[in-house]
């Protein structure tokens, strides 16, 4: 086998809480993560030559691309002899959106390289390498419903959350993650998610309990220039969403629905004003 194509799924934060600022400047987080059906397609081909070539639509395929960094980390950490690679990414997940699109491409690259070159590499080892590539990459390797702690790399797999329809709506601006973290004073955070309650609701398969606990603490520190996030949340509520929140450090907002037709109607209504609107479901 010399080539493989894998889906690289987007994620949502059902919850996002910030626990403390660490000595290294990063923050310890607590996040309940959920994979959704929106995905990129990542094809990794062993070329027989040398060097890594990455094509990724409009996004640079250079060393800043997490798929390229993942390939470098794979060879450096596994001891597998580096060989020529082509990584072709069909992008559907918007960049800088809070949906871990880049991290997911990196994770799919790692999974593809394992399949092609070292099928006996244990999952834990792949996740350890993933953490060297980026905080969200281990979760993207594992997928599903999971609690992510630390910088995001400490994972606990949870029972699958109840299957819900998720409409994703990305406004036409980006929110710089470091700026958002710099506004956080952990002791002054308010309106934080009830993470234990969310974990319990997921464990019990309590759909209403899950819906009622969807929350992202970053919304409480958003500067007013990003109020567009709240406009979308309001739209979702008027469109019957049973929960709505920003995902990650934004700016994408999602609305959750039990009813597929209601989700579709919200998707149709929002996409006339927001080009980057997606109708997805939990996977
Ligand atoms: O992970 P990423 O490189 O996107 O993070 C960008 C910045 O966000 C970091 O340099 C850091 O300032 C902040 N950050 C943090 N705690 C985290 C993740 C990111 O403080 N868990």
Asked if residues 61 and 70 have their Cβ atoms less than 8 Å apart, the reply is no
**Residue 231 bears catalytic tag:** no
**Residue 11 bears catalytic tag:** yes
Q: Which residue in this structure is represented by tokens 């953490």?
A: 131
Q: How many domains does the chain have?
A: 2
CATH code of the domain covering residue 196: 3.30.70.890
Residue 48's pLDDT is: 86
Average pLDDT over residues 45-72: 96
CATH code of the domain covering residue 57: 3.30.230.10
pTM, 2 dp: 0.96
Please, which pLDDT band fits residue 121 given cuts at 50, 70 and 90? very high
Residue 188's pLDDT is: 95
For 196-208, write each residue's pLDDT tens digit: 999 999 999 999 9
Q: In this structure, are 29 and 118 located in the same domain?
A: yes
The Cα 276–Cα 80 span in angstroms is 39
Q: In this structure, are 132 and 30 located in the same domain?
A: yes
Cβ-based neighbours of 73, under 8 Å, separated by 6 or more: 110, 129, 132, 133
Can you list the alpha helix ranges (DSSP code H) found in the chain?
A: 66-78, 101-117, 123-133, 137-142, 177-182, 195-204, 207-211, 228-238, 260-271
For 25-55, write each residue's pLDDT tens digit: 999 999 999 999 999 999 999 998 889 999 9
The Cα 65–Cα 70 span in angstroms is 9
Q: Which of 11, 170, 215, 233 is catalytic?
A: 11
Domain with 109, as residue range(s), is 3-157
CA 140 / ligand 1 centre spacing (Å): 17
Q: In this structure, are 26 and 145 located in the same domain?
A: yes
Q: In this structure, are 173 and 139 located in the same domain?
A: no
Please, which pLDDT band fits residue 195 given cuts at 50, 70 and 90? very high
């Amino acid at each position: 086998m010399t080539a493989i194509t894998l889906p690289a799924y987007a994620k949502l934060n059902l919850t996002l809480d910030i626990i403390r600022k660490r000595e290294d400047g990063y923050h310890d987080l607590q996040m309940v993560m959920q994979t959704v059906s929106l995905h990129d397609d990542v094809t990794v081909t062993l070329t027989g030559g040398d060097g890594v070539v990455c094509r990724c639509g409009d996004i640079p395929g250079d060393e800043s691309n997490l798929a390229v960094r993942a390939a470098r980390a794979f060879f450096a950490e596994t001891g597998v002899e580096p060989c020529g690679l082509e990584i072709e990414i069909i992008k559907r997940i918007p960049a800088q959106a809070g949906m871990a699109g880049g991290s997911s491409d990196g994770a799919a690259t790692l999974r593809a390289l394992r399949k092609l070159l070292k099928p006996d590499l244990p999952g834990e080892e792949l996740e350890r390498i993933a953490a060297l590539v980026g905080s969200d990459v281990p979760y993207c390797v594992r997928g599903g419903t999971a609690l992510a702690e630390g910088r995001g790399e400490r994972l606990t797999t949870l029972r699958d959350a109840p299957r819900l329809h998720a409409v994703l709506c990305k406004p036409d601006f980006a929110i710089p993650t470091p700026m958002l973290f710099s506004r956080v004073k952990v002791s002054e955070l308010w309106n934080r998610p009830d993470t234990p309650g969310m974990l319990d609701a997921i464990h019990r398969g309590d759909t209403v309990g899950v819906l009622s606990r969807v929350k992202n603490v970053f919304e409480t520190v958003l500067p007013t220039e990003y109020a567009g996030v709240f406009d979308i949340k309001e739209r979702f509520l008027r469109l019957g969403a049973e929960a709505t929140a920003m995902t990650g450090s934004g700016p994408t907002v999602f609305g959750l629905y039990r009813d597929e037709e209601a989700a579709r109607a919200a998707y149709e209504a929002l996409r006339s004003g927001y080009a980057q609107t997606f109708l997805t479901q939990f996977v």
